[in-house]
């Protein structure tokens, strides 16, 4: 195996947000039908330097051929802080994940709404995630 072959083997991987003292809090949503919007509440008990909140679709490589088309996922993420809009973002390029960033993130109550659409034959699975310096519980509303 040559160096270029080794690098090519990791072409589909991305390492995005990583901080030593941050944790991922998440809720898996499996077998969702009819492009649902799901909303979760959570509380930051202390200020955070930053927070990444969003959704990640299960990778198409996790499924047999024909169960999940690459690039067919679409999604929208919005987050509110104390009842006021704090950020939103949409994804239509099939990159399998979308996050919005709040920096700094103040202590208080948040709501994360995630909305997904899929191809007709897709398995309708995704994960809602919050990545910050403290674990939170995502309570489904």
Q: Which two tokens stand for residue 45?
A: 């008990």
- 45-69, pLDDT tens digit by residue? 999 999 999 988 776 666 666 665 5
DSSP code of residue 9? H
CATH of 24-136 among 3.30.2350.10, 3.20.20.10, 3.40.50.880, 2.60.120.380:
2.60.120.380
Going from N- to C-terminal start, the domains of the chain cover 24-136
Mean pLDDT of 110-133: 85
User: What is the value of pTM for the model shown?
Assistant: 0.79
Mean pLDDT of 94-120: 87
Cα Rg of the chain (Å, integer): 16
Residue 11 pLDDT greater than 70, yes or no? no
Query: For residue 119, what pLDDT is reported?
Result: 72
Distances (CA, A) of 136 to 7, 25, 129: 36, 6, 10
- 106-118, pLDDT tens digit by residue? 999 999 999 887 7
């Amino acid at each position: 195996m040559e160096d270029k072959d080794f690098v090519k083997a990791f072409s589909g991987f991305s390492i995005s947000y990583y901080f030593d003292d941050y944790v991922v809090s998440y809720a898996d949503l499996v077998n969702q039908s009819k492009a649902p919007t799901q909303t979760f509440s959570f509380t930051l008990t202390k200020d955070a330097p930053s927070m990444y909140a969003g959704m990640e679709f299960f990778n198409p490589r996790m499924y047999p051929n024909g169960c999940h088309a690459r690039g067919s996922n679409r999604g929208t993420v919005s987050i509110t802080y104390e009842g006021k809009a704090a950020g939103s973002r949409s994804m239509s390029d099939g990159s399998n994940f979308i996050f919005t960033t709040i920096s700094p993130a103040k202590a208080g109550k948040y709501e994360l709404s995630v909305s997904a659409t899929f191809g007709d034959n897709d398995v309708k699975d995704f994960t809602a995630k919050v990545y910050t310096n403290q674990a939170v519980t995502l309570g489904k509303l």
